[in-house]
Structure 1
Amino acid sequence: MQGLSLADRFNNAIEAVQEGIDLIWPGDLDSENMNARIGIGMGWIPDYVGSDNYRFRALPILDIRYKELWRLNGSKLTYTAFKTDGLEIGPLVNLHFGRKESANKALTGLGNIGTTLDVGIFARFKHEGLLVETDVRRGISEGQGTLARLTAAHGIYQNGNFGASLAVRLQYLSQKGMQTNYGITQEQADASRAGYDPFRASAGVSDVSANIIGAYRLTDKARLMSLVSVGHLLGDAADSPLVTNGTGSPLQVIAGVGLMMQF
């Protein structure tokens, strides 16, 4: 089966941008009411995790918040059930997009993967310009297994209407999730256009990434943003035939810009 879809990769990038803006301008949104940031982002994204072929995409940006309780950030909905001294803990639900094997010729014969829901829990700690967040989620179908992420971010520059932040993220996949995203079964190997050998992937840290976010306040309501994300696959994710097939790469880059309006 394939790795994460374009939409998942983009949502992860936009999530980093939204968190970065919160660190640059912590009082940018009124926490007592419903708020929204809506816009469009455009950038270069790999065809699949492990691909070295990039496509230019335009996708919507969505961040809706109700007080300090509910938040819909891209495809992830969270509820803050507990909060004290900068610490927030609560459940999450995430729409985990599927992908068709037609996304790239390297995937031909491996079969499609459907869209599913992830359910889990998150914990987030903020202090001044620092953010530390972790979440653990499990896909309810499509063989996605368990995924855990650890993110550390900090505002690194702020001058007038311009600011920047840096976020580092580590991701862990269970054996089931690693096999779904990076493994090759005998059946898939036999059907693959690329002639892959079977590959059984084990649980472990799948990738690490560094994300630099820049934002500029055009007006009271409009924000121009940019993102450069440089990631590297690790362990069995890096050793997957989808990465080592001659058309893949463990180095994964996302670069893009976007325009948001907030209400």
Structure 2
Amino acid sequence: MRALSCAATALALVPSAAAVAQDASDARPRGQVALGLGVAPDYDGADGVRAIPFVLADIRVGGVSFEARGLRGRVDLAADPRLSMGPVVGARLDRRDADGLVGLLPTIDIGVEVGGYVGYRFGGDALGQGSLSTELTLLHDVSGTSNGMVATATAGYAALRSRDSFAGFDLQASWADADHMRTYFGISAADAAASGLTRFRPGSGFRDVGAGISAGHYFSRHLGVIGRVGAAYLVGDAADSPITEAGSRWQPLGGLTLAYRF
């Protein structure tokens, strides 16, 4: 059975630019939470999608921000409003009940990843409109699923930012080590014999590039909607894998939520 619970939530669907602007000097909890429905690839390299919960939260207490993006959570420990940095913990989607020849390969369990991130925002007005944000995230699997590492660089632009509305777009690129690549895109000799797919042993390298658009609007003091559409495009050994050739290099992610701010 495919994982359609919160464990299947896609990571990083909404960029940090979606957070409501807040006064860091106010010690009361402020922020927003958003819940809805989205879609994500059935597995890495798949040409089909699965329904997933779409989750977003940004909660600021004093000078510390707690953020959630699906199964990825992080804490921003930087006091500087333009600098962000802190720990990250998250999960990576599993591969189960795949169709076709890929379904004859071993299943992959949900992976648990921990690491950190650092980001910086350039320019923009008091609410952040017109700003350019950059971020680097490094995650390592600690669950034994892949024991691999993934580094992701992101750049985003806040095209619109007001008290009640925002819109922006972002670009990203991910690099993965050999352990990660061989877990999600590799095919051993035994797996090739069992599935009929060609043996494939990928190495470390760039995994994907992607882009997305996020937007939101609050209709009242507390209620609004936040949505995102985007896609990643597999490159390098990830694209050359027989798993991807049987599926698709395009990996869509998106969703729509009902949001509450406080």
- The DSSP-based 3-state class of the residue aligned with 1:51 is coil
The residue that corresponds to 2:117 in the other structure is 122
Amino acid at match of 2:74: T
Unaligned runs of 5+ in 2: 125-130
Amino acid at match of 1:209: G
Deviation per CA, 1:77-109: give whole Å up to 9, x if none.
3344454462233332x2324524214445322
Amino acid at match of 1:254: L
- The DSSP-based 3-state class of the residue aligned with 2:181 is helix
Normalising by structure 2, what TM-score? 0.82
- The DSSP-based 3-state class of the residue aligned with 1:113 is coil
Cα distance in structure 2, aligned partners of 1:207 and 1:198:
21
Cα distance in structure 2, aligned partners of 1:206 and 1:124:
21
Offset of residue 188 of structure 1: 1.8
- Relative distance call for 1:209 and 1:77 in structure 2 (3 A) is same
Structure with the higher helix share, 1 or 2 = 1
Cα distance in structure 2, aligned partners of 1:34 and 1:27:
10
Cα distance in structure 1, aligned partners of 2:161 and 2:57:
24
- The DSSP-based 3-state class of the residue aligned with 2:90 is strand
More deviation, 113-122/53-62: 53-62
Offset of residue 130 of structure 1: 2.2
- Relative distance call for 1:228 and 1:199 in structure 2 (3 A) is same
- The DSSP-based 3-state class of the residue aligned with 1:11 is coil
Cα distance in structure 1, aligned partners of 2:6 and 2:185:
16
Instruction: State, as a whole percentage, how many aligned pairs show the same letter.
Output: 24
The residue that corresponds to 1:21 in the other structure is 18
CA contact (8 A) 1:29 1:35 kept: no
Cα distance in structure 2, aligned partners of 1:220 and 1:177:
44
Aligned mate of 1:44, from 14, 39, 44: 39
Offset of residue 110 of structure 1: 1.9
Cα distance in structure 2, aligned partners of 1:36 and 1:85:
15
CA contact (8 A) 2:63 2:77 kept: no
The residue that corresponds to 1:241 in the other structure is 242
- Relative distance call for 1:45 and 1:137 in structure 2 (3 A) is closer
Aligned mate of 1:175, from 174, 178, 196: 178
1:69 lines up with 2:67 in the alignment:
no
Offset of residue 213 of structure 1: 0.7
The residue that corresponds to 1:34 in the other structure is 29
Cα distance in structure 2, aligned partners of 1:105 and 1:68:
50
- The DSSP-based 3-state class of the residue aligned with 1:101 is coil
Offset of residue 111 of structure 1: 1.8
The residue that corresponds to 1:155 in the other structure is 158
CA contact (8 A) 1:216 1:224 kept: yes
- Relative distance call for 1:121 and 1:59 in structure 2 (3 A) is closer
Cα distance in structure 2, aligned partners of 1:104 and 1:262:
41
The residue that corresponds to 2:12 in the other structure is 12
- Relative distance call for 1:84 and 1:163 in structure 2 (3 A) is closer
Cα distance in structure 1, aligned partners of 2:116 and 2:240:
30
Amino acid at match of 2:183: T
What RMSD, in angstroms, separates the aligned Cα atoms of the two structures?
A: 2.8
- Relative distance call for 1:78 and 1:162 in structure 2 (3 A) is closer
Cα distance in structure 1, aligned partners of 2:250 and 2:160:
27
